[in-house]
């Protein structure tokens, strides 16, 4: 049986890393794990998982541009929380190529913010750095 690397971490097997989240067998409880599983969902075009893990007030209705993006890698820079406000943060860099930009490589450098909604940690928004 061929081992499939996980998009969020090529040294981990998808079956043991993000797949259980994507299949709904379990749900991430830490912001880094949620960030990684969301990145993998982007790579795999798993829109249902992205919607599940996105705050209801900020989740987009349209995911049409997903097919134009080829994700190349994820690097987590920093993880922290503001326990007073119950906010959780992940600073990351995600590299990608966009076919709408002639396949030119680019990156997203973001500080993502996560909060709890309906007793689940969800992505609410991010600040580009």
Helices vs. strands in the chain: H and E counts, helices first:
3, 6
Average pLDDT of the chain to the nearest whole number: 94
97 compared with 67, residue with greater pLDDT: 97
What is the rounded distance in angstroms from the CA atom of residue 125 to the CA atom of residue 37? 16
122 pLDDT band, cuts 50/70/90, is very high
Give the global pTM: 0.94
Among 22, 39, 19, which Cα is nearest to 31's?
A: 39
| Range 5-128 has CATH code 3.10.450.50 | yes
Contacts of 56 (CB under 8 A, 6+ apart): 117
What is the rounded distance in angstroms from the CA atom of residue 76 to the CA atom of residue 83? 20
What is the rounded distance in angstroms from the CA atom of residue 109 to the CA atom of residue 69? 16
Model confidence pLDDT, tens digit, residues 55-79: 999 999 988 778 888 999 999 999 9
Asked if residue 42 has pLDDT above 80, the reply is: yes
């Amino acid at each position: 049986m061929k081992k499939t690397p996980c998009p969020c971490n090529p040294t981990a097997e998808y079956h043991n890393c993000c797949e259980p989240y994507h299949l709904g067998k379990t749900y991430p409880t830490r912001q880094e794990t949620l960030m990684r599983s969301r990145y993998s969902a982007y790579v795999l075009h798993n829109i249902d998982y992205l919607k599940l893990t996105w705050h209801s007030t900020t989740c987009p209705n349209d995911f049409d541009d997903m097919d134009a993006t080829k994700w190349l890698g994820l690097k987590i820079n920093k993880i922290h929380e503001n326990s007073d406000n119950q906010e959780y943060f992940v600073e990351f860099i995600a590299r990608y190529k966009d076919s709408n930009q002639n396949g030119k490589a680019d990156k997203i450098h973001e500080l993502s913010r996560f909060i709890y909604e309906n007793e689940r940690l969800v992505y609410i928004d991010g600040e580009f750095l």
